[in-house]
């Protein structure tokens, strides 16, 4: 059964994720679809798996432990904390609107959600699972084996576990941000200062990197184009180089989505910025060689606050929609 999930207000505005992604490629910025088409049975099964700590070795972590859905689908920590006491992870990215990213992880090391999900399950620092252990557990749970047989003709297997989880991840869409309503023609959805922030975002050139339907998620760029060539931070993450082993990719990272950015602090791959004000100042200086006036920075932050959408009809994080 195919149905519309992630329903917001007007389902008549729905479009499929495929169409939306195609629009995102050509338009500099585009609103999220109000709903996406996913198989409801697979999404429900994927959600059950996402919430279940028994998917991790020793049952210490569920996906939701680090990607809580009422808090921007990220844990709010500087870096993700492994339950297995090993070396620190990077800052946890939000899982909202991941269907509209073209690369996953800060180094873009995965290009499909299924592959990224398998990496999360098997990574010793994340879920620390092995396929035989996981399939044996799911097969021994009557509820799971029944749900897999109902949702898939070939029942429980590795591909279907990954497909169910990825189907749920693709359903994590947060439509109806005030900025999206503005893009759809509701000119009063932004006030004058937010609109000024949007103009700055465009004319200063933030939009050259943070573009498409997710305002990011589709490019790689150096972090720190202007200023010192030495890292301005103790962090020495090689970024994209870890994947390509190309010297030119040292210090290059995926440009992240800015959707729901007001509820996904702290920021950057190493969580170095605690507030949006700090993140915007760092971006203006290091990516564009500019110093923002306090008024312009404030307007930019106010604009970024309009990118917070709704999950299952409720505003994500703390922001409440204004009544006008």
Interface positions with ligand HEC (CB under 6 A): 61, 63, 65-67, 80, 82, 89-90, 92-93, 95, 98, 101, 104-106, 113, 116-117, 120-121, 126-127, 165, 169, 204-206, 208-210, 221, 223, 225, 253, 255-256, 258, 261, 264, 267-269, 279-280, 283-284, 287-288, 300
Look at the alpha carbons of 141, 147, 150, 153 in this order and tell me if their dihedral is positive or negative. negative
**Residue among 61 and 308 whose Cβ is closer to ligand HEC:** 61
Q: Which one, 117 or 306, has the nearer CB to ligand HEC?
A: 117
Give the pair of three-digit tokens for residue 73: 């689908």
Cβ closest to ligand HEC, residue 33 vs residue 256: 256
CB of 141 to ligand HEC, least distance (A): 17
> Residue 13 or residue 139: which is nearer to ligand HEC going by CB?
139
Non-local CB neighbours of 45 within 8 Å, separated by 6+ positions: 147, 148, 151, 164, 167, 168
Q: Which is nearer to ligand HEC, 5 or 113 (CB)?
A: 113
d(CA 44, CA 135): 18
Distance of CA 201 to the CA centre of its chain: 20
Cβ atoms 109, 115 nearer than 8 A: no
Nearest-approach distance from CB 324 to ligand HEC, in angstroms: 25
Instruction: State the minimum distance, in angstroms, from the CB of residue 284 to ligand HEC.
Output: 4
Cα separations (Å) of 5 from 15, 154, 286, 311? 11, 24, 39, 11
Task: Kindly state the smallest distance separating residue 195's Cβ from ligand HEC, in Å.
Answer: 15
Q: Which of 151, 190, 154 has its CA nearest to residue 46?
A: 151
């Amino acid at each position: 059964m195919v149905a519309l999930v992630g329903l917001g207000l007007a389902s008549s505005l729905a479009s499929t994720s495929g169409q939306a992604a195609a629009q995102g490629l050509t338009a500099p910025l585009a609103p999220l679809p109000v709903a996406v088409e996913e198989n409801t049975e697979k999404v429900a099964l994927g959600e059950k798996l996402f919430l279940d700590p028994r998917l991790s070795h020793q049952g210490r972590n569920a996906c939701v432990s680090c990607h809580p859905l009422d808090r921007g689908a990220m844990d709010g920590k500087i870096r993700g904390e492994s339950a297995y006491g090993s070396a620190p992870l990077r800052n946890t990215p939000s899982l909202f609107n991941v269907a509209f990213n073209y690369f996953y992880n800060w180094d873009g090391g995965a290009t499909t959600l299924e592959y990224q999900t398998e990496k999360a399950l098997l990574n010793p620092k994340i879920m620390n699972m092995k396929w035989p252990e996981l399939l044996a557990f799911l097969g021994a749970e009557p509820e799971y084996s029944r749900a897999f047989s109902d949702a898939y003709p070939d029942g429980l297997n590795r591909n279907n576990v990954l497909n169910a989880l990825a189907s749920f991840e693709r359903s994590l869409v947060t439509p109806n941000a005030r900025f999206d309503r503005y893009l759809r023609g509701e000119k009063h959805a932004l006030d004058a200062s937010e609109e000024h922030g949007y103009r700055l975002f465009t004319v200063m050139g933030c939009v050259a990197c943070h573009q498409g339907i997710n305002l990011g998620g589709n490019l790689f760029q150096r972090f720190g184009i202007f200023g010192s060539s030495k890292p301005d931070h103790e962090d020495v993450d090689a970024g994209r180089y870890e994947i390509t082993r190309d010297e030119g990719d040292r210090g290059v990272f995926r440009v992240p989505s800015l959707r729901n950015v007001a509820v996904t602090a702290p920021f950057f791959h190493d969580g170095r910025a605690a507030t949006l004000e700090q993140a915007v100042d760092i971006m203006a200086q290091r990516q564009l060689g500019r110093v923002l006036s306090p008024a312009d920075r404030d307007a930019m932050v106010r604009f970024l606050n309009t990118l917070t959408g709704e999950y299952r009809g409720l505003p994500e994080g703390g922001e409440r929609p204004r009544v006008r």
